[in-house]
């Protein structure tokens, strides 16, 4: 199990790296995170929902994603409320107070343990990931994600600390010092992550940490710039470069407050033909070659927001200027004529006019659609892949589907090559669709098409090599044997 001194210290990526290492060494690993909080989710092969990070880790392990890998998913709908997804299905909405202050979460923890037990019966080893810090004393009795599940699993636990933040000695020593004895005995090693510079400069620090804590430093991972693994959280989205880039196709992803599944754009970010940026600045949107409206966990609220801040007007103006405008999931719903919420799924019951770019209307429903899909894009022969995660049904005045699903149904609306919408997340992971999209802009012909699947496999292998070079892998295997 990989746990942290804080959030964003690298737990998800290191977990993915070990999934790949164990797979390379002939084992059948699988990832596990008891509870995840993220707007990035994924539809499993059996049509259920888990956190995207565990889907990435399963991909690194070479196994199908399953809800037992992430039995509890919290999807924030506002600053204080979140949808609870249990075993891949919505189980209601709760405030942070209701969720975290509910006794010791005995019933939920029982569900988590059962998921782990089932997973451990099918795979070996289980590569577990913690959440945030393991020393949040005020939440310890209600924690189902960190040391409580580690004790149940009898896990060999490795504590990860981000040296790039500073304060490494205080964070590591304090984290371990605050653990009760039965939890301290599970800590088998310390991993120092994101080290910049000459690692030899930390030799003394390594010895001091081991002396202070009584726990060996399993290794020091250097900061890297050339390995690309999907990020779990969308915090970095607003920090991406916004300025246009000459010689590239400039793609503006509309920055929404409740943006979900930003991993839809990972393939584009690695494509040499493209410069992609995230913005809610009207001037930047109008200047872009392609505008993409992404998914949202609260579509109506985000639609109101972009109307109020001028973003919606910029999108329609860009469309009038013959720019490419497409929408994915919630973005597709926004592009229509109306979104109705008769059951109060996202808030008070009612309806709101859309952007009016597509002749479709959407009704939000109580039931969530979560399905992996295989489809043909615009009548082409090649079978593409994607997945649906949405609460809503969209109908058109005159059918003009974008995609034909292999089960005989259809998806999306195709107005013309420069304006369409779809419910399919991951649609832009398919090279034929990206090439068709970029062909609407003259700059795309100079660089060859990009194979995203091959790229991801290369990144998992590079990550595994990076970890092997800088961590004592033999010590990890010895801890597992014990």
Peptide bond into 125 cis (omega under 30): yes
> What are the tokens at 472?
């004592």
How do the domains of the chain map onto residue ranges?
2-229+458-481, 235-449
State the pLDDT at residue 199. Answer: 86
- Kindly give the confidence (pLDDT) of every residue in the chain, 482 residues in length, as a single tens digit, with 9 standing for 90 and above: 999 999 999 999 999 999 999 999 999 999 999 999 888 899 999 999 999 999 999 999 999 999 999 999 998 877 778 888 999 998 887 776 666 666 668 889 999 999 999 999 999 999 999 999 999 888 888 889 999 999 999 999 999 999 998 899 999 999 999 999 999 999 999 999 999 988 888 999 999 999 999 999 999 999 988 888 886 654 444 444 455 677 889 999 999 999 988 899 999 988 888 999 999 989 899 999 999 999 999 999 999 999 999 999 999 999 999 999 999 999 999 999 999 999 998 888 999 999 999 999 999 999 999 999 999 999 999 999 999 999 999 999 999 999 999 999 999 999 999 999 999 999 999 999 999 999 998 664 444 667 888 989 999 999 999 999 999 999 999 999 87
Which residues, other chains included, contact 324 with Cβ-Cβ below 8 Å and sequence gap of 6+? Answer: 289, 290, 291, 418, 419, 437, 440, 441
Residue with tokens 């690194």: 60
> What are the tokens at 15?
């977990």
Note the Cα 251 to chain centre separation in Å: 20
Instruction: Decide if 369 contacts 337 (C-beta within 8 A).
Output: no
Please tell me the distance from the alpha carbon of residue 108 to that of residue 113, in angstroms, as a whole number: 9
Residue in 87, 258, 390, 425 annotated catalytic: 425
Q: Which CATH number fits domain 235-449: 3.30.365.10, 3.40.50.1980, 3.30.950.10, 3.40.50.880?
A: 3.40.50.880
State the pLDDT at residue 482. Answer: 79
CATH superfamily of 2-229+458-481: P-loop containing nucleotide triphosphate hydrolases (3.40.50.300)
DSSP result, 254-321: E--TTEE-GGGGHHHHH-TTEEEEEE--HHHHHH-SEEEE-EESSHHHHHHHHHHTTHHHHHHHHHHT
Active site residue 19: no
Say yes or no: do domains 2-229+458-481 and 235-449 share a fold.
Answer: yes
State the pLDDT at residue 455. Answer: 87
Which residues, other chains included, contact 271 with Cβ-Cβ below 8 Å and sequence gap of 6+? Answer: 434, 438, 447, 450
State the pLDDT at residue 38. Answer: 86
Residue in 19, 258, 275, 329 annotated catalytic: 329
Q: End-to-end distance of the chain based on CA atoms, in angstroms? A: 14
Active site residue 329: yes
State the pLDDT at residue 105. Answer: 80
State the pLDDT at residue 225. Answer: 80
**366 in helix, strand or coil?**
coil
State the pLDDT at residue 140. Answer: 81
């Amino acid at each position: 199990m990989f746990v942290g001194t804080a959030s964003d210290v690298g737990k998800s990526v290191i977990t993915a790296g070990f999934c790949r290492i164990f797979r390379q060494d002939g084992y059948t690993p699988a990832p596990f995170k008891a509870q995840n909080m993220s707007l990035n989710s994924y539809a499993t092969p059996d049509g259920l929902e888990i956190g995207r990070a565990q889907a990435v880790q399963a991909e690194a392990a070479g196994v199908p994603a399953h809800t037992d890998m992430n039995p509890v998913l919290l999807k924030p709908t506002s600053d204080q409320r979140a949808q609870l997804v249990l075993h891949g299905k919505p189980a209601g909405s709760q405030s942070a107070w209701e969720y975290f202050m509910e006794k010791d979460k005995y019933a939920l923890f029982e569900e988590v343990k059962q998921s782990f037990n089932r997973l451990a019966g099918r795979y070996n080893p289980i590569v577990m990931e913690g959440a945030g810090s393991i020393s949040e004393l005020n939440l310890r009795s209600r924690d189902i994600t960190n040391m409580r599940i580690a004790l149940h699993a009898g896990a060999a636990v490795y504590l990860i600390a981000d040296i790039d933040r500073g304060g490494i000695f205080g964070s590591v020593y304090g984290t371990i010092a605050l653990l009760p004895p039965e939890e301290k005995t599970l800590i088998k090693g310390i991993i120092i992550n994101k080290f910049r510079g000459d690692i030899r400069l930390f030799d003394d620090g390594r010895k001091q940490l081991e002396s202070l804590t009584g726990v060996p430093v399993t290794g020091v991972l250097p900061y890297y710039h050339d390995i690309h693994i999907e990020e779990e959280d969308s915090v970095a989205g607003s920090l991406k470069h916004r300025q246009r880039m000459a010689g590239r196709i400039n793609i503006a992803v509309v920055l929404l407050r409740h943006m979900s599944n930003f991993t839809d754009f990972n393939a584009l970010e690695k494509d040499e033909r493209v410069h992609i940026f995230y913005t809610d600045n009207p001037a930047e949107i109008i200047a872009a070659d392609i505008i993409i409206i992404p998914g949202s966990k609260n579509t109506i609220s985000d639609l109101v927001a972009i109307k109020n801040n001028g973003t919606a007007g910029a999108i329609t103006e860009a469309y009038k200027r013959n720019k490419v405008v497409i929408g994915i999931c919630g973005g597709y719903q926004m592009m229509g004529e109306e979104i109705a919420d008769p059951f109060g799924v996202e808030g008070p019951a009612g309806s709101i006019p859309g952007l009016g770019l597509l002749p479709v209307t959407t009704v939000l429903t109580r039931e969530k659609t979560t399905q992996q899909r295989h489809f043909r894009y615009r009548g082409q022969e090649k079978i593409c892949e994607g997945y649906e995660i949405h609460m809503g049904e969209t109908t058109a005045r005159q059918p003009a589907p974008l995609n034909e699903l292999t089960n005989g149904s259809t998806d999306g609306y195709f107005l013309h090559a420069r304006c369409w919408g779809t419910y399919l997340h991951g649609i832009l992971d398919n090279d034929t669709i990206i090439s068709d999209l970029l062909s609407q802009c003259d700059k795309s012909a100079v660089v060859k098409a990009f194979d995203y699947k091959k790229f991801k496999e290369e990144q998992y292998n590079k990550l595994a090599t990076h970890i092997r070079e800088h961590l004592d892998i033999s010590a990890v295997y010895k801890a597992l044997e014990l």
